[in-house]
A and B are shown apart, each in its own frame.
Chain A
Amino acid sequence: MDLSKVFTRTIAVSPERRQEADADYSVVKAVQAGEVAAFDQLIRKYRERVFGVVYNLTSNREDAADLTQDAFIKAFQAINRFHGQSSFFTWLYKIAVNSTLSHLRRNRLRHFFSLEAIQEGVEKTQLADRLLDSNSADRDACLRELQEKLNEAMQKLSIKHRTVITLFEIDGLSHTEIAQVMNCSEGTVRSRLHYAKQFLQGELSKYLH
Chain B
Amino acid sequence: MPESPHRPRVTVEDLLRLKRAERPSAEFWVRFENTLREKQLTALLHRRPWWQSAVHLLARRRAFLPLGATAVIACTLVSVRYFNPAQAARAGNQIQSPTVAGAGPIAAAPVAPAASTALPANNTAVPPSENLALAPLSANLPERAAELTPWSAPAPADRIPEASIAGNVSRLDPEFDQTGINGRFFATTARQQAPNVTTAELTSVTAVTSKRSRLLAQFGERYYAPEPQAPKIVRERLTRQLADTDFNDRFSRIGLKGDQVSLKF
Interface positions of A (Cβ within 8 A of B): 36, 43, 47-48, 51-52, 55-56, 61, 65, 68-70, 72-73, 76-77, 81, 115-119, 121, 123-124, 127, 130-133, 142-143, 146-147, 150, 165, 169-170, 197, 200-201, 204, 206-209
Contact = CB atoms under 8 A, between A and B. Distances in A.
Interface string B28-40: 1100110110011
B10 interface: yes
B163 interface: no
Contacts of A170: 16-17, 19-20
7 contacts: A77-B43, A115-B22, A116-B24, A130-B7, A146-B15, A207-B1, A207-B10
Given A68-B32, A73-B40, A208 B10 contact: yes
Contacts, number: 105
Interface size class, chain B: 20 to 34
Interface of chain B: mostly helix, strand, loop or mixed: helix
A147 B19 CA distance: 8
A69 B19 contact: no
Nearest to A78: B56
Contacts of A200: 12, 15-16
Nearest to A74: B43
A124 B22 CA distance: 10
A36 to B, nearest CB: 8
B39 A69 contact: yes
A118 B18 contact: yes
Looking at A61, A115, A131, the one whose CB has the most chain B CB atoms below 10 A away is A131
Given A69-B36, A150-B18, A200-B12, 19 more contacts: A47-B29, A61-B24, A69-B32, A69-B35, A72-B36, A73-B36, A118-B21, A119-B21, A123-B17, A130-B10, A131-B1, A150-B19, A169-B17, A170-B16, A170-B17, A204-B15, A206-B1, A209-B9, A209-B10
Contacts of A48: 23
